[in-house]
Amino acid sequence: RLPVEASACGKVILLGEHAVVYGRPALAAPVCGLRARARAEPLPPGAGCWIEAPDTGERLRLSEAPDHPLARTVRLALEHLGLPEPDLRLVLRSELPVAGGLGSSAAASAALVRALFRWADRTPEPEIVSALVYEIEKLHHGTPSGIDNTVIAYERPIRFVRGRPPVLLRIARPFTLVIADSGVPSPTRETVAAVRAGWEREPARYEALFDAIADLVQEAEACLQAGAIEALGPLLDANHRILQELGVSSPLLDHLVEAARMAGALGAKLTGGGRGGNVIALVRPEDVEVVTRALRAAGARGAFATEVRAD
């Protein structure tokens, strides 16, 4: 048999992170230019199934690392396919920063799942990929809302509410984001736990902040449907302010967001779990260069533009 390959995109949360864990809606979009890629290569009979991640130097045998998230992913997919352990080498590579809020863990799992389905001459429906990856996200995040696995499995901009099928977003006009990496890894599990601790201390205040985020999400969805891209900027700014109040920003993230705005971004915010990871800035196409440069000058490790469109 010939080797097969599959990939999965990264993602950004446009608005609504953290509140989405508490049942509020959130908007997310795929980042098609940054991908995790899995390659499945046949091995001689009896060799067993090996998973290799050259980026992190990991190499494990499926039967000997039962609890490793990558091994769990492979086992889940094989169970779904009704296959025994194959003689197979799975090589996973990723362009996504780890713990950067761009969905690196969900993308890795989704790429592996797709490669195994392809190996079995099957094409998985997005809801199958999403459900399998969600099982793995639970290992990483504790109580994930499910937004990462969903947007990555569908590879389309979505409106997401926990426990419901996603709604594909209607986007009248494509728009451009600059995504900038603070270079600070920040496990989502920790920021989600910090928000949970605050919510337990001051439930009424946190519920009000989540409601305020939900209102911004609703307004943003209306802007996207109407093609009112300029009006989206202040909504991102307002969402960032609430994330500051939730305690998930950081001086560096605030500095990056401010630098983007000063350079002409229409709005900017942290994206994902926060405290580290990435920020997004909404920019007019002609301002991509200057905002990207300003973010780098302000301390971002990397900054690049991505277009969000409905198809």
Catalytic residues: 148
Q: Return the residue matching tokens 């780890």.
A: 98
Among 10, 25, 124, 144, binds ligand PMV (CB under 6 A): 144
Q: Please pick, from the candidates 8, 18, 120, 177, the single residue that binds ligand PMV as defined by CB under 6 A.
A: 18
At its nearest, how many Å lie between ligand PMV and the CB of residue 101? 4
Residue 64 Cβ vs ligand PMV, minimum distance, rounded to whole Å = 28
Quote the least distance from Cβ 303 to ligand PMV, whole Å.
Answer: 18
How is 127-149 classified by DSSP, letter by letter? HHHHHHHHHHHHHHHSS--SHHH
Q: Which stretch binds ligand PMV (CB under 6 A): 15-23, 36-44, 123-131, 253-261?
A: 15-23
The reply on whether position 20 binds ligand PMV by CB under 6 A is: yes
Letters for 178-207 (x = contact with ligand PMV by CB under 6 A, - = none) are ----------x---x---------------
Q: Name the nearest CA neighbour of 50 among 36, 30, 68.
A: 68
Considering only 24, 53, 148, 288, the residue that binds ligand PMV (CB under 6 A) is 148
* Residue 37 interacting with ligand PMV (CB under 6 A): no
Stretch touching ligand PMV by CB under 6 A, among 45-53, 141-149, 261-269, 286-294: 141-149
What are the C-alpha distances in Å from 124 to residues 70, 167, 277? 18, 19, 30
Asked if residues 33 and 154 have their Cβ atoms less than 8 Å apart, the reply is no
| Range list of H helices, the chain | 69-81, 104-119, 126-141, 147-154, 188-201, 203-226, 229-245, 251-262, 288-297
Distance (Å) of CA 123 to CA 6, 97, 116, 117, 293: 11, 27, 10, 6, 41
